Chains A and B, each alone.
Chain A
């Protein structure tokens, strides 16, 4: 109320925004009109208010004309409210004595065909803002400290790179008196590494994926500032930027991690032996089910951490996941004094406090069975690209020997079908970006391993990347056949004696203008990338948005590509959309930098447009409490009054509207202010 006691002196500025506004709205006329309104002591038009001279104008006028309120009529407040509030603050005026009028998006752009009416509308909107700003109060921006620890969800190459980047920036000195700062890396699989760990070589350099990834994996495992939580999932997240509380669920490995040395004696002593009891073995997930693993296993040789786990669905000491304790437990005997095996282990949960979160949950490969015309799951020698990655890998199911599913025959001709589940009206419309390049890579590797005649069936070859087009050129020189056309079907019926016993790829060759039948021994489906099956669940946990295709949505496709709409939560890698390793790593670095920027600043500023409850008038009816989407309203049982946690309030105004006694007030949206604004626009004629 103190603001009303001093004389109100409003300065008004109308911006031409070049021709954007000036061509439609008669800006000098608007300025002339506003000058006649009560309390307005200064009213001018200017070409670009957001420019340095424009802002300087505001600063000088505040001093010269002793302005204590400022209104700018220009573009959307989303764009420049921050700019002009800053100009006011620079001149010593509380920034909340500023009001902005949008006469560009709301006026000149939509009424370009009617300059006269547009000018009238600008005047009405200006009058509304002038009447509103007279009611404004000085508000203080609150600072909330940021918790220094970071959570990273997903231990693929994106999560690994982000974790290392941040962890390396933390200088934890024991005698500094401060608590050590930490990065929590949560991965749902038993080992970190993600899809990249399964790859053999990486394009276009053909360097070994494991050779460049595994050192980073071990660095994560050994880093003093990283707490690795594998075989774990985030179940819940509460809080707000700087102060998140995250519940992590640890799935039971039936191995006490701290006691396991990774000696793997339990594995070799398991009663389930591959030779004696092949039917009791389980499909090996890491090798895409191409071979089997034992019930007690370590996912792959370089797994990080080197801790074994027991699969209760196949372990003989369980029956379909339920402990029966009927096995002779030779693994326990083998483990001996270490006593690391614990069949009674249960799922546990843990609560973490972190300030920022990076979500890097990756992608899922398209399920080839959704394209039944390509015969995956019907013809044994139709493979997915990921299966072939394992086939050509020296630590894969065949030791790097490329043989067909019979385990013996080397393929003499191989066809790679591009765009399976990409650029397809019936499945996914998007381009998966990596398939062209990995198909070229697999063509090269398969040819190298088998000497087979190679065919690539493509719609377009897309090679935008450093050295990518050159790699394509190299493949062309290697004699790989490229046939342009989407494959119609893969079948086994023969039309000629040469086709007997082969898989026949039927395709329209759109360059030759004819339908062709290409008999091959092996078909590789270049499956596209799609969102993880539980992406929607993850989206809800972290309060993020998804695009229509289901990938996590960035705040701005160009200018905020790793930010989400929730402050303090960032995304990196293929969970945001299909991308290759270099782009993923770059994005992970960007997300890490964004998180570190918040951490090193140490606090976040909170918009003061929060709601508060007039204690004397609250009847304690609690009707506001369930309506708050941010659970910011609490109830004082002793006094039977509701109160609002300002740190959680996002200023949505729902509670204000719902309060039956009108006892909730929102800063910047007080009744006086809103009604004055409405009065202003309606009083204009």
Chain B
């Protein structure tokens, strides 16, 4: 399995923990990933709103390079993923757009014919690699030392300290399933739910905000609106008793992780770590936390129970 990899600006900057965890995880699964040579900006949000034609030219250039390599594009950043898909959609629908793009690409001796498959890592992981293959690589199921409730021999419930699954809120954000529901349901995506389950964690299935807005750039431009959205997402995750939120998008991760101080002063403290799914995969595969970019988060992930602790706790649970 081989894919070209389009990191976009985020995975080299603010979201570098995503790249730091995704690439080793893919390598661990035996997937060959080759970074697109000389890639450029995907043309995302701001540019797309100002000039759709020129933004599409930017996206199309990346697609043309991938086509020349003969590979499909893996785009981990939600914004990149959406813009690349949107550009292909525009090129197929609007001949005038196709003309603009062809002319621009021609000037640098590039061509783009037909469609280049644009894949999200979640799509690649669940549909190409498969959950079974992933499950087989899990050496450190995601468990925590914490309070567990058990039924004693006499039928009464007892609480004690023990090993329990990490409780995770899957948060997809808006862009990977809307408007193009390419590999999952647009209202209730579940790909990541299944993936996290395969890692041994417990998934909060009734988190209704899984595709709601993270605030986008409003956290910076209109904090009143942006921070309120983030606050609700975090508060509801805590209400469901989650240990962490897992996301697929650099902007979501940033918004959910970076504004805890402001949110605490405006509303109330709602501290909960937000990590990338690839980071959880790395942990479950037993890769060193330091190499998964976990130290970059503002709210730290709680320490997981290692295989020894899990093994030690086993007899008590059984």
A497-B236 Cα distance, complex, nearest whole Å? 12
Q: Is the CB of A491 within 8 A of B232?
A: no
A495 to B230, alpha carbons, bound, how many Å? 11
Size range of the interface on A?
under 10
Whether, in the assembled complex, A460 has its beta carbon less than 8 Å from a beta carbon of chain B, the answer is no
In the complex, how many angstroms separate the beta carbon of B72 from the nearest chain A beta carbon? 30
Query: Contact at B209–A493, with CB atoms within 8 Å?
Result: yes
Q: Which of B188, B228, B236 contacts A372 (CB 8 A)?
A: B188
Closest residue of A by beta carbon distance from B187:
A372
A492 touches B208 (CB 8 A): yes
> A373 touches which one: B187, B228, B232 (CB < 8 A)?
B187
Alpha-carbon distance between A372 and B188 when the two chains are bound, in angstroms:
9
| Cβ contacts under 8 Å, A373 to chain B | 187
Chain A residues lying within 8 Å of B188, measured Cβ to Cβ, are: 372
In whole angstroms, what is the CA distance A29 to B48 when docked? Answer: 68
Interface residues on B, range: under 10
B187 and A493 form a contact (CB under 8 A): no
Q: Is the CB of B208 within 8 A of A491?
A: yes
A258–B51 CA distance with the chains assembled, in angstroms:
78
B228 surroundings in chain A (CB, below 8 A): 495
Q: How far is the CB of B258 from chain A (nearest CB, A)?
A: 21
Query: A445: shortest Cβ distance to chain B, in Å?
Result: 30
Chain A, residue nearest B188 (CB): A372
Contact digits for A479-515, partner B, Cβ 8 Å, 1 yes 0 no: 0000000000001111100000000000000000000
A379's nearest neighbour on chain B, judged by CB, is B208
Closest to B229 in A: A495
Q: Determine the chain B residues whose CB is within 8 A of the CB of A493 once the complex forms.
A: 208-209, 232, 236
A501 to B236, CA, bound (A): 12
* Chain B window 196-222, contacts with chain A (Cβ cutoff 8 Å), 1 for yes, 0 for no: 000000000010110000000000000
Asked if residues A495 and B208 are in contact (CB atoms below 8 Å), the reply is: no
CB-based nearest A residue for B207: A493
Task: Give Cα A495 to B232, complex, Å.
Answer: 7
Give A507 Cβ to nearest chain B Cβ, in Å.
Answer: 17
CA distance A494 to B236 in the complex (A): 8
Report B306 CB to chain A, min CB distance, Å.
35
* B112 CB, nearest partner CB in chain A, Å: 32
User: Could you count the A-B residue pairs with CB atoms below 8 Å apart for me: how many are there?
Assistant: 16
The CA-CA distance from A492 to B236 in the complex, in Å, is 10
User: In this complex, what residue of A is CB-closest to B231?
Assistant: A495
* Docked pose: A372 CA to B187 CA in angstroms: 7
Proximity bits, B43-65, A CB within 8 Å = 1, else 0 = 00000000000000000000000
Chain B residues with CB below 8 A from A491, complex form: 208-209
Chain A residue, CB-CB nearest to B236 = A493
Could you tell me the distance between the alpha carbons of A491 and B206 in the complex, rounded to whole angstroms?
11
Enumerate chain A residues within 8 angstroms of B208, measured Cβ to Cβ.
375, 378, 491-493
Contacts of A378 in B (CB 8 A): 206, 208
Task: Report B161 CB to chain A, min CB distance, Å.
Answer: 31
Which residues of chain B in 220-262 are interfacial with respect to chain A, using CB atoms and an 8 Å cutoff? 228, 232, 236
Q: Name, among A372, A375, A493, the residue most crowded by chain B CB atoms within 10 Å (CB to CB).
A: A493
Bound together, the chains give a CA A492 to CA B232 distance in angstroms of 11
Residues in B whose Cβ lies below 8 Å from that of A495: 228, 232
Q: Tell me, rounded to whole Å, the shortest Cβ–Cβ distance linking A487 to chain B.
A: 15
- In the complex, A491 Cα to B209 Cα: how many Å? 9
Name the A residues within 8 Å of B236 (CB-CB). 493-494
Binary flags per residue of A363-375, CB closer than 8 Å to B gives 1, else 0: 0000000001101
CB distance from A488 to the nearest CB of B (A): 12
Expressed in whole angstroms, the minimum distance between the Cβ of B227 and any Cβ of chain A is 13
In the bound complex, what is the Cα–Cα distance between A372 and B181 (angstroms)? 15
A494 to chain B, nearest CB (A): 8
| Shortest Cβ distance from A375 into B: residue | B208
Instruction: Looking at the assembled complex, report how far the CB atom of A318 sits from the nearest CB atom of chain B, in whole angstroms.
Output: 35
CB contacts (< 8 Å) of A492 on chain B: these are 208
- Residues of the B chain whose Cβ atoms lie less than 8 Å from the Cβ of A375: 208
Distance, CA A378 to CA B209, complexed state (A):
13
State the Cβ distance, A523 to closest chain B Cβ, in Å.
14
Interface flags for A64-107 (1: CB within 8 Å of B; 0: not) read 00000000000000000000000000000000000000000000
Minimum C-beta distance from A489 to chain B (A): 9
CA distance A494 to B208 in the complex (A): 11
| Nearest-CB residue, chain A, relative to B185 | A372
- A372 to chain B minimum Cβ distance, whole angstroms, is 4
* Minimal beta-carbon separation of B233 from chain A (angstroms): 9
Q: In the complex the two chains form, what is the Cα distance from A398 to B179 in whole Å? A: 43
With a CB–CB cut-off of 8 A, which chain B residues contact A372? 187-188
Which residues 647-669 of A sit at the B interface, judged by CB distance below 8 A?
none
Alpha-carbon separation in the docked complex, A375 to B209 (Å)? 13
Task: Give the Cβ gap from B304 to chain A, nearest Cβ, in Å.
Answer: 28
Closest chain-A Cβ to B240's Cβ sits at a distance in Å of: 10
Q: Which residues of A contact B209 (CB under 8 A)?
A: 491, 493
B186, closest chain A residue (CB)? A372
CA distance A581 to B187 in the complex (A): 36
CB distance from A47 to the nearest CB of B (A): 56
CB distance from A11 to the nearest CB of B (A): 62
A495 to B212, CA, bound (A): 14
- The distance in angstroms between the C-alpha atoms of A386 and B69, with both chains bound, is 58
Q: Compute how far the CA of A493 lies from the CA of B171 in the bound complex, rounded to whole angstroms.
A: 14
A94 to B187, CA, bound (A): 70
Identify the interface centre among B208, B209, B228: most chain A CB within 10 Å of its CB: B208
**B-facing residues in A451-499 (Cβ within 8 Å):** 491-495
* Cα(A526)–Cα(B187), bound, Å: 21
Q: How far is the CA of A494 from the CA of B232 in the complex (A)?
A: 8
Q: How far is the CB of B188 from chain A (nearest CB, A)?
A: 6
User: What CA separation (Å) do A373 and B211 show in the bound complex?
Assistant: 12
A492 and B187 alpha carbons, distance in the complex (Å): 15
Complex CA–CA separation, A75 to B299 (angstroms): 83
Cα distance A494–B239 in the bound complex, in angstroms: 11
Q: How far is the CA of A494 from the CA of B187 in the complex (A)?
A: 19
What is the CA–CA distance of A267 and B197 in the complex, to the nearest angstrom?
45
Return B297 CB to nearest CB of chain A, in Å.
Answer: 24
Q: B224 to chain A: closest CB distance in Å?
A: 13
Roughly how many angstroms separate A350 CA and B236 CA in the complex, as a whole number? 61
How far, in angstroms, from A378 to B208 measured CA to CA in the complex? 10
Nearest-neighbour CB distance to chain A for B209, whole angstroms, equals 6
0/1 string, B87-115, CB within 8 A of A gives 1: 00000000000000000000000000000
Chain A residue with Cβ nearest B212: A493
Closest CB-CB distance, A613 to chain B, in whole Å?
Answer: 57
**Whole-angstrom distance between the alpha carbons of A494 and B268 in the complex?**
14
Interchain nearest-CB distance for A148 vs B (Å): 56
A407, B208: Cα distance in complex, Å: 24
CA distance A373 to B188 in the complex (A): 10
Bound-state CA distance A494–B238 (Å) is 13
0/1 interface trace, chain B 173-195, chain A, CB 8 Å (1 if under): 00000000000000110000000
Query: Could you tell me the distance in whole angstroms from the C-beta of A405 to the nearest C-beta in chain B?
Result: 15
Give complex CA distance A375, B232 in Å: 19
- Quote the shortest CB–CB distance from B204 to chain A (angstroms): 13
Residues of A within 8 A of B187 (CB): 372-373
Report the Cα distance A209→B236, complex, angstroms: 44
Give Cα A679 to B188, complex, Å: 69
Nearest-CB residue, chain B, relative to A372: B187
Question: Restricting to A361-413, which residues have a CB under 8 Å from any CB of B?
Answer: 372-373, 375, 378
Query: How distant is the Cα of A375 from the Cα of B206 in the complex, in angstroms?
Result: 11
Query: What are the residues of chain A within 8 A of B206 when measuring CB–CB?
Result: 378
On chain A, the residues within 8 Å of B232 by CB distance are 493, 495
How near does chain B come to A113, taking the closest CB pair, in angstroms? 35
- Complex CA distance for A491 and B210, rounded to whole angstroms: 12
Sample of 13 further A-B pairs with CB below 8 A, known A493-B208, A495-B228, A495-B232: A372-B187, A372-B188, A373-B187, A375-B208, A378-B206, A378-B208, A491-B208, A491-B209, A492-B208, A493-B209, A493-B232, A493-B236, A494-B236
7 contacts between A and B (CB under 8 A): A372-B188, A375-B208, A378-B206, A491-B209, A493-B209, A495-B228, A495-B232
Closest 10 CB pairs of A and B: A372-B187, A493-B236, A491-B208, A493-B209, A492-B208, A493-B208, A493-B232, A495-B232, A372-B188, A373-B187
On B, residues with C-beta under 8 Å from A are 187-188, 206, 208-209, 228, 232, 236
